[in-house]
With several copies, the nearest count.
Chain A
Amino acid sequence: MTYDIVVDGKIHHVEVTRGEKLWSCRVDGQEMEVDAALTARDVLSLLIGGKAYEIKRERSLQGELHMVIGSARYAVEVQDPRSLRTRRAVAGADSGPQKIKAAMPGKIVRILVAEGNEVSNGQGLIVMEAMKMQNEMKSPKDGKVHKILTAEGSTVNAGDTLAIIE
């Protein structure tokens, strides 16, 4: 089977075919014979020419798919080559308006910018308190505060959009 797979924003073209004992894999044109075994739920053991890899699959609360190899974690998106989402996924990172979302429920302690302000990548925008900790949410890019969608003291839920940077 053939997939376009986005790993940390970079596309890889992957073909996998299961043979009698091994899988034949072609990644970005590179051929490999792989001994693959599911050892436990969401845990895949790969042997490639003697080298062993354990891959743990995880879906986060936000629904992102991650592959964890040893101590490294990779955000992965498995794409139907015909779909268009891939390009977005790769391009999306920096261009266009960015929503600042609450990753979890909490309370807005302070808002550090106003609509229309110019902000730079990494600049603090909103201070939120959750799990007894205050956390500053920073701007993902250089740009302008298009909208503030919350107020100091208000309580927000996971996924709520708090501001939009364009």
Chain B
Amino acid sequence: MFKRILIANRGEIAVRIIRACRELGIESVAVFSDVDRKALHVRKADYAYHIGPATASESYLNIDKILEAARRSGAEAIHPGYGFLSENANFARACRDAGIKFIGPSPESMEMMGSKTRARQNMKRAGVPFVPGSERGLELDDMERLAEQVGYPVMLKAAAGGGGKGMRLVSSPAELHSAYENARSEAQRSFGDNEVYIEKFIANPRHVEMQIFGDEQGNVVYLGERECSVQRRHQKVLEESPSPIVDEDMRRRMGEIAVRVGKAAGYYNAGTVEFLVDRERNFYFLEMNTRLQVEHPVTEFVTGLDLVHLQFHVATGQPLPFKQEDIQLRGHAIECRIYAEDPDNNYFPSPGKITRLISPSGPGIRRDSGMYEGWSVPIEYDPLLAKLVGYGEDREQAINRLLRALYEYFVGGIKTNTSLFRRILKDPDFRAGNIDTGFLDRLLTKPNNETDPRRPIIAAMGAAIFASAEAQATLPGTTVAVSTNGKAAPPPPISGWKRMAREEAVRER
């Protein structure tokens, strides 16, 4: 096994990988930008190296700086996490050239899969089903012709893309031109590559993906699917495994195709094959993600495996320690992505200082978090703070445990989207498994009435008791100045409380 591994990432995924290192007796090396000196991944690592300013391109996306940190730390391998350099074949190649093991697939597999159009060609040869559309990036006029051919609505997608960037839905020829320009410029901004291709648009599909795992001996297995249809602006918000609509037979067929995709790409380490599923449960190859997914914990819960341990294992060149038939799926798991964003304000990002953090635990609850009380969420990066994952004997128990855990979760000082998950998990359609990629947008248009008429009165009383207990330390009759002191943490409990505490102490004897 490796002696020392550098994690070229930040936040919850860096923490999760550092934990895996500690579990296996591997020394972990963190890297951090100026604004991440106090980040949790730096606190938890055995080594930490500063790699530059907040701007990702000058730190977490900077290949030279990361390799320099790896050399200085003597790391034998690098885990890229997700995002940042995780799907950058040049980085994987640079690691190889530097004699450092990149924990992931070969740069060749990444390149083949990285460009959606090339992936498409290879997969077609492997007999993988596709949504009708263009094989590769098109100029506007070709695109107009093909759009007419497959029929509107159509979807424009960035060839180098992912996570919804550079995607545009076009429902009529009139919109195609501007959509095409926007998609190209956004693709250029996001990926430095403005190649855009076209696909027939499938109304309200499900997004189901299959986890695969390969070793360098050429063995590839599938570890069950994940349902990722609950999305906002093409961003996954909640994922689960198994999918409510996938039965054993469909799982086997989808899994075998995913394995074929992996083998066609000479794939090893962890990968995910994404499919679109239509109402008739036909599925079409969407894309392959050549990295560990954000949502890998739901697969870990239902398989009982640790995918990061497994990544380390195969990266050392050893074969997979099990065969397809050894995989035992059991129970149901659901992941909620806790973001620093304000549900009451159009999900606007909400960075800042976490003044209070009360975290859930207990049966069936896993929490992968990158935050802690007193830490300030920087504005420069993705607002994912933590992942709350619930396991249950069945889907209903997993849902109920998550609702319980969300009830316990309190993040003070900033806004988070926890209330969104309460809405989702209580929604009758969701509970019945009736979800598709349009589900969340529909839900958010419904009025949100989580109200108990008595509560506002309790809130008023609580505010008065807080104020009264503290006022007694200052001038009687004055009130708490709400506007002042807002940015600082609230003042410590003062004599009003102290007296109250003393009284209780007396009472308790």
Direct contact of A and B (CB under 8 A): yes
Q: How far is the CA of A30 from the CA of B49 in the complex (A)?
A: 22
CB < 8 Å neighbour of A76 from B347, B353, B459, B471: B459
- Map CB proximity to B onto A43-60 as digits: 1 under 8 Å, 0 otherwise: 111111011111111111
Distance, CA A124 to CA B426, complexed state (A): 29
Tell me whether B231 is interfacial, beta carbon within 8 Å: no
Partner of B407, one of A1, A40, A41, A70: A70
Q: Which of B266-274, B432-440, B478-486 lines the interface with chain A?
A: B478-486
Contacting pair A40 B468 (CB below 8 A): no
A128-150 contacts to B, CB under 8 A, are 130-133, 135-138
For chain B residues 421-451, which have a beta carbon within 8 Å of chain A? 422, 450-451
Min CB distance B352 to A, Å, is 5
By CB atoms of chain A within 10 A, which of B29, B465, B500 has the most? B465
B-chain residues with CB within 8 Å of residue A58 when the two chains form the complex: 355-356, 412-413
Quick check: which of B195-203, B291-299, B374-382 contacts chain A, the rest being far away? B374-382
Bound-complex Cα distance A165 to B392 (A): 50
Nearest CB of chain A from residue B477's CB, rounded to whole Å: 7
Chain A contacts of B38 at CB under 8 A? Answer: 37, 39, 45
Q: Which residues of A contact B479 (CB under 8 A)?
A: 3, 78-80
Q: Is B456's CB under 8 angstroms from A74's CB? A: yes
Q: How far is the CA of A12 from the CA of B477 in the complex (A)?
A: 17
Does residue A32 face the partner (Cβ distance < 8 Å to B)? yes
**Interface residues of A, CB < 8 Å — how many?**
75
CB of B481, distance to nearest CB on chain A (Å): 9
**Can you list, as one digit per residue, whether each of A16-33 has a CB less than 8 Å from chain B (1) or not (0)?**
101011010101101010
Q: How far is the CA of A5 from the CA of B43 in the complex (A)?
A: 25
Q: Which of B289-317 contact A (CB under 8 A)?
A: none
Of A45, A48, A76, the contact of B42 (CB 8 Å cutoff) = A45
Chain B residues with Cβ below 8 Å from A59 are: 355, 413, 482, 485-486, 490
Q: How far is the CA of A48 from the CA of B340 in the complex (A)?
A: 32
Asked if B460 and A76 make an inter-chain contact with CB atoms under 8 angstroms apart, the answer reads: yes
Beta-carbon contact of A69 and B458 below 8 Å:
yes
Task: Say yes or no: is A7 at the interface (Cβ < 8 Å to chain B).
Answer: yes
- Distance A1 CA – B480 CA, assembled complex (angstroms): 12
Q: Given A58-B355, A76-B460, is A37 in contact with B46 using a C-beta cutoff of 8 Å?
A: no
Q: Which residue of B lies closest to A61 (CB)?
A: B352
B483→A44 contact, CB < 8 A? no
Q: A1-B468, A25-B464, A103-B350 are in contact. Are A56 and B356 (CB under 8 A)?
A: yes
Is B469 interfacial (CB 8 A cutoff)? yes
Residue of B nearest to A72 (CB): B455
User: What DSSP secondary structure best describes chain B's contact surface?
Assistant: mixed
- Among residues of A, the one whose C-beta sits closest to the C-beta of B380 is A131
Within 8 A of B (CB), among A106-127: 106
Among B374, B418, B455, point to the contact of A40 (Cβ < 8 A).
B374
Question: Across the interface, do A52 and B48 meet the contact criterion of CB distance under 8 Å?
Answer: yes
Q: When the two chains form their complex, are residues B353 and A61 in contact, meaning their CB atoms are under 8 A apart?
A: yes
Q: Which of A34, A130, A136 has the most CB of B within 10 A?
A: A130
From B111-119, B135-143, B275-283, B501-509, the one touching the partner chain is: B501-509
Q: Closest CB-CB distance, A106 to chain B, in whole Å?
A: 8
Closest to A14 in B: B464
Residues on the B chain within 8 Å of A21, using CB: 503, 507
User: Is residue B47 within 8 Å, beta carbon to beta carbon, of the partner chain?
Assistant: yes
Q: At the interface, is chain A mostly helix, strand, loop or mixed?
A: strand
A78 touches B482 (CB 8 A): yes
Indicate whether B82 reaches chain A with its CB closer than 8 angstroms.
Answer: no
CB distance from A112 to the nearest CB of B (A): 14
Q: Which residues of A contact B347 (CB under 8 A)?
A: 135
Using known A-B contacts A3-B479, A21-B507, A103-B350, determine if residue A38 contacts B493 with beta carbons closer than 8 Å.
yes
* A residues less than 8 Å from B451 (CB atoms): 72
Q: Which residue of B lies closest to A79 (CB)?
A: B479
Which residues in A have their C-beta under 8 angstroms from that of B358? Answer: 43, 56
Closest Cβ of chain A to B506, distance in Å, is 9
* Contact call A77/B482, Cβ cutoff below 8 A: yes
Can you name the residue of chain A whose Cβ is closest to the Cβ of B488? A59
B490 and A8 contacting across the interface, CB-CB below 8 Å: no
- Closest chain B CB from A74 CB (angstroms): 4
A95 close to chain B: CB less than 8 A: no
CB pair B379–A64 under 8 Å, yes or no, is no
The yes or no answer to A104 lying at the interface (CB within 8 A) is yes
Q: Which residue of B lies closest to A68 (CB)?
A: B410
Verify B348–A135 contact, CB threshold 8 A: yes
- A40 to chain B minimum Cβ distance, whole angstroms, is 4
User: Is A10's CB within 8 Å of the partner chain B?
Assistant: yes
Most buried by A among B381, B450, B452, B466: B466
Q: Is the CB of A39 within 8 A of B480?
A: no
* A interface footprint on B193-226 (CB within 8 Å = 1, 0 otherwise): 0000000000000000000000000000000000
Task: Decide yes or no: A61 and B486 within 8 Å by CB, A39-B374, A104-B379 being known contacts.
Answer: yes
10 chain-A/chain-B pairs, Cβ below 8 angstroms: A3-B464, A5-B460, A16-B464, A20-B503, A21-B507, A38-B500, A39-B372, A47-B48, A74-B455, A132-B383
Question: Which A residues lie at the B interface, using CB under 8 A?
Answer: 1, 3, 5, 7-8, 10, 12, 14-16, 18, 20-21, 23, 25, 27-28, 30, 32, 34-48, 50-65, 67-74, 76-80, 103-106, 130-133, 135-138
Q: When A and B form their complex, which 3 residue pairs have the shortest distance between CB atoms, in order from nearest?
A: A63-B486, A55-B462, A131-B349
Partner-A contacts on B (CB < 8 A): 29-30, 37-38, 42-50, 72-73, 340-342, 345-353, 355-356, 358, 372-375, 379-383, 406-407, 410, 412-415, 418-419, 422, 450-452, 455-469, 471, 476-480, 482-487, 490, 492-493, 497, 500-501, 503-504, 507
Q: Known pairs A1-B477, A131-B351. 4 more at Cβ < 8 A?
A: A1-B468, A7-B459, A16-B465, A60-B414
